[in-house]
Structure 1
Amino acid sequence: MELHTLVALTTGVTLLTCVLAVVGIHIYAAGGAQRAALIDRLSYTGELPDSGRRRRFRTLDRRLRRTTPGRKLELRLAATGLDVTPGEFLVGMLAAAAALWLVGAAALAPFFGPIAGLCGIWAALRFLDWQRQRRIERFIGQLPELARILANATQAGLALRTAIGMAAEELEAPAGEELAKVADQLSVGHSLDDALGELADRLPSRELVVLVTTLVLSNKAGGQVVSALRNLTETLEERKETRREIRTQLAQVTMTSYAVPVLGIGALFLMDGVKDGALARMTGSPIGQACVIIAFGLYAIGFVLIRRMSRIDV
């Protein structure tokens, strides 16, 4: 009788242990999923637009953001305003590089495959820089109107935080989007210095730095914000016109800088079209490969020099 009771007790304890183990595993898995979702939400700094679409490569995104290059890439993507995560951009860039590798190897010669792949990676990163600079230029164009709205709001007796929220509602993108992020940061307890400093880091420009410095100093020292913003509005209007004139004058030089490497690539296709297999034979020896690499290097140097000579900082 005692043996039967011991067996029943042991069986009951074993079953209870199994049930608790299953429940514990379930709770652990659910907690892990909730933790991953929370990390995924908190990892985004609010830079991505809320499009509602399903994000891809979430695991890759989390791993990228733990690295310094991944955080820099996320900051660059945030400055462009594109609805793309770091993982999506990295996968897309590598896929494009692989496709260009295959196309270059098939259309020209196997030697040009790696060069085409590297050019694809370079073009993707240059696209980010171009998109970022384009957004910065649009933001700079809205700075005079932004300063005017802030001046009118502060003159009406509104606090600077309230004036920023009002400007975020009235202005279009990208100024409206960026100011909305600043207003959200201020609403959750961030200081004005930190919120405006992050804005200047996302969209670096001299004009924005001047505006941020004016607002921060006026907020700290309690100076005449209205008069400072009025004077800043006139200055920004003049700089806007000056930048427009310089951009018009240098349009031909800018096109020349892009035409130089395009002519070099076109010459390769022309050579291969005139005599089929010419590039394969040329790159079949170390001397030919060295000559091609040197030629590409010279085209790259020419592109950089033309861009540097045509750059005028205002």
Structure 2
Amino acid sequence: MTDLTLLTIGVTLLACLTAVIGVHVYTSGKAHEQALLERMSQTGQLALPGRRRRFAGVDRRLRRTTLGKRIERKITTTGLDLTVGEYVVYVIAALLALYFIVGSVFAPFFGLIAAVIGLWGANAFLNWQVLKRTEGFINQLPELTRVLANATQAGLALRTAIAMAAEELDDPAGEELKRVADQLAVGRSLDDALGDLVERLPSRELTVLVTTLILSNRAGGTIVSSLRNLTETLEERKETRREVSTLLSQVKVTAVMVPVLGLGFLMLINSMRAGALDDMTGAFAGKVAVIISAGLYALGFFLINRLTRVRI
């Protein structure tokens, strides 16, 4: 090697090392800054600013509509840091990208079908987030009942016990109970606050817990023993739900793999002869066949999920 080559390699390695050190120093500084801001906000020395919201005009218009209110209710239940306007704009952008990408890879008609499926997927994503948050809350119910039982046994009122549980438990239970505690702090009744909680996170376990708390608050009685018995029952149901979910995991994967195999067959056909999908969707009979096939795949996906839905 010549001296110029060695010099070039040495300068390149030095530049890479400097870049790595610079990135490390920058990330460490940002982490220390964020920790300092959070510590100052907790002590009241600094009000931590919230995230800047985008598409405020779109959000204001959508909130006045029935669809916007429904989307807002779902987003609030999921706990996502999104506004209605941001969600709708992001969904429209994703649908356009999906249409052009699928249309360029397969055929324009398939791009239209992909956009329709993507529109369904946007709503399914919110429903999945709601279900995920509900499942997370259900898994925390045994710990929640244990905290409430210990607090009430110590002589604390039920409202105080709920506020204490909101501080001790992690999300999503901590955040949801904080909403209940805030509603109770402004004078709302216990029945209404817990009723809203059941509407946000509908489940049998939570309904039983809320009913127990409301009846004990109205008529009095041995709430501690009721909560301890409920804790044991919820622990058993939690283990049963985990076992059922493990047994049905393979079937749920099959429900996803069947449409993926259909997509793979389309790619195989298009790779065998370029333009085959364009020719197929260029005729009316081909479009009808594609729509029927997509409907059958969707029906199979729906039926498999329906059959594997076990109520415990």
Q: Please, what TM-score do these two structures have when normalized by structure 1?
A: 0.82
| Cα deviation 1:40-91 (Å, max 9, x = unaligned) | xxxxxxxxxx971111122222222222221111111112111011110011
Alignment of 1:42-61 (within 5 A): 52-61=50-59
For the aligned residues, what is the CA RMSD?
A: 1.2
Please name the residue that 2:256 is paired with.
258
- 1:135 is displaced (CA, Å) by 1.2
Look up the match of 2:100. Answer: 102
Secondary structure (helix, strand or coil) at the match of 1:312 reads coil
> Deviation string for 1:218-255 (max 9, x for gaps)?
11112221111111111101100100000010010010
2:143 is the alignment partner of 1:113: no
Greater Cα shift, 122-131 or 88-97: 122-131
| Pair 1:219-2:217 in alignment | yes
Q: Which residue of 1 aligns with 2:69?
A: 71
Larger Rg: 1
Per the alignment, do residues 51 and 149 of structure 1 end up closer, same or farther by CA in structure 2, a change over 3 Å counting?
Answer: farther
1:267 is aligned to 265
2:247 partner letter: Q
Quick one: distance in 1 between partners of 2:227 and 2:65? 40
Count, aligned residues:
265
- 2:205 corresponds to: 207
Q: Shift in Å at residue 204 of structure 1?
A: 1.0
Give the one of 157, 160, 166 matched to 2:158.
160
Amino acid at match of 1:94: I
Residue type of the alignment partner of 2:156: L
Once residues 307 and 59 of structure 1 are traced to their aligned partners in structure 2, the CA distance between those partners, rounded to angstroms, is: 39
Per the normalisation by structure 2, the TM-score is: 0.83
| Structure-2 separation of matches of 1:307 and 1:112 | 25
Match of 1:197 among 192, 195, 198: 195
Distance of aligned partners of 1:276 and 1:51 in 2 relative to their CA distance in 1, 3 Å threshold:
farther
AA aligned opposite 2:129: Q
Percent of aligned pairs with the same amino acid: 62
Q: Which runs of 4+ in 1 moved over 3 A?
A: none
Query: For residues 71 and 151 of structure 1, do their structure 2 counterparts lie closer, same or farther at Cα, with a shift above 3 Å needed?
Result: same
Unaligned stretches of 5+ residues in structure 2: 1-47
